[in-house]
Amino acid sequence: MEDLGVMQSETQCRSCGHTGLSDVLSLGSTPLANALLTKEQLGIQEVFYPLDLVFCDSCSLVQITETVSPSELFAEYLYFSSVSDTMVKHSAQLVHQVINDRHLDGGSLAVEIASNDGYLLQSYKEKGVPTLGIEPAANIAAVAEEKGIETVCDFFGSELANKLAIDYGRADVIHANNVLAHVPDLNGVVSGFQSFLKDSGVIIVEVPYVRDMVDGAEFDTVYHEHLCYFSLTALTQLFRRHRLAIFNVERLAIHGGSLRIYAGIEGNVGELSDGVISLLEEESQLGINEKGFYLTFAERVETLKVDLLELLQRLRSNGNKIAAYGASAKGSTLLNYFGINSTDIEFVVDRSEVKQGRFTPGTHIPIRSPEALLEDRPDYVLLLTWNFSEEVIRQQQEYRRQGGKFIIPIPTPRIV
């Protein structure tokens, strides 16, 4: 393995610039989680990067210490949101709610940052609301354009936001779903929100919730694309720095536990909701703004590692065949940190056709279509995309009818 590549080690907080960063968890060195390999690439030495999680004692932001070049991470991206039925349904429900609540129509503008293949904006388009996507991955932006979703292929920040405000007018709603964690320049992006938004507009951001990550030992949420892990406390400080106020918040079950925040221009949002006030108080009482809250995280992850490896070893020693479901970023972190490879897992299946025929980074497990579960009939399937467990298990009813079982690894390994 080679610890090289385009990266930068951070000694200051990505949000407030504070230098007092405390260690939370080290996952060693891992390859980029979405850098799936072709057969021809298997003989080429992969690049591994340190993956260390730290806590800012000043603004409470949890973050990793290494920044891999965004162009290396996202120039060609293999995650298409539309592959997940759960994500499409989740987004459509939100869009319909926003259209009704904000009275959006043909004279409005709905924007999504990191809009992927247009999975969310297509619901606005169907209702006659003009849309604009910003997506840095050229291959995915092209797919969105084919769907009729106008997409700017670029990285969002304050400079691009100012240009877009001139070219398209300011936005009535800006969505940023599972993107704020990915950006190295947090302040540039949030400043861009402020300058691209109408005075009466709303910013709707979804992020994995650090509280759920810690409580559920969801260490596989940590990978190089995810630079930051947010609490409402940390988000409030970040947005306030750019004259934005978070006026409402919802806790969501998706992705193992997420926050959805609603923000607007300071002075234009009215009173804070009871939900914001109460959740900030809860976080204070739990100590989320103190490093002590995170001290047992690493211990729980190590316990999980021992338990899962023992389970897999016991199953294999009894002659069982084991496959995995989901060539996901989460799965890459789990496989690499736990040292699970092609000697333990015969193959991984994934619904995304662009992933099929490739191999998992670092662990080199072949990726096949879900039909392989019925063709080869492994006895057990390690569910790497455990955050979509209900959807996956529902889709694989025939495999289960024939005796197949799933292993859900987090928060503790269990067989269903």
What integer pLDDT is reported at residue 2 of this predicted model? 37
Q: How far apart are CA 105 and CA 154, in angstroms?
A: 27
The token pair that represents 115 in the structure block = 């809009």
pLDDT tens figures, 160-184: 999 999 999 999 999 999 899 988 8
Q: Answer whether CATH 3.40.50.720 is correct for domain 297-415.
A: yes
Contacts of 141 (CB under 8 A, 6+ apart): 133, 135, 151, 152, 153
Q: Give the CA count within 13 Å in the CB-facing half-sphere of 231.
A: 26
User: 81-294: what fold?
Assistant: Rossmann fold (3.40.50)
For strand 49-56 and strand 21-30, is the pairing parallel, antiparallel, or unpaired?
A: antiparallel
Q: How many residues does the chain have?
A: 416
Residues of each domain in the chain carrying CATH 3.40.50.150: 81-294
- Strands 49-56 vs 62-64: parallel, antiparallel or unpaired: antiparallel
Give the pLDDT band of residue 5 (cuts 50, 70, 90).
Answer: very low
Give ranges for CATH 3.40.50.720 in the chain.
Answer: 297-415
When pLDDT is cut at 50, 70 and 90, the band that residue 49 belongs to is: very high
Q: Comparing C-alpha atoms, which of 175, 184, 190 is closest to residue 131?
A: 175
| Mean pLDDT score of the chain | 92
Q: pTM of this prediction?
A: 0.89
Per-residue pLDDT of 126-147, as tens digits, reads 999 999 999 988 888 999 999 9
Give per-residue pLDDT as tens, 352-370.
Answer: 998 999 999 999 999 999 9
User: Is residue 4 over pLDDT 80?
Assistant: no
Residue 270's pLDDT is: 84
Q: Reply yes or no on whether the pLDDT at 257 is more than 60.
A: yes
Residue 357 CB neighbours (<10 A):
13
- 213 pLDDT band, cuts 50/70/90, is very high
pLDDT score at 137: 85
* Residues 349 and 330: beta-carbon distance below 8 Å: no
Distances in Å between the Cα of 247 and the Cα atoms of 42, 176, 202, 244, 260 are 49, 16, 10, 9, 11
Whether 319 shows a pLDDT value over 80: the answer reads: yes
Please state, in angstroms and rounded to a whole number, the distance separating the CA atoms of residues 134 and 141: 8
| The pLDDT value given to residue 85 | 65
Q: Which residues are paired to 18 by β-bridges?
A: none
For residue 244, pLDDT over 60 is answered with yes
C-alpha to C-alpha distance for 193 and 206, rounded to whole angstroms: 14
Quick one: pLDDT at residue 74? 60
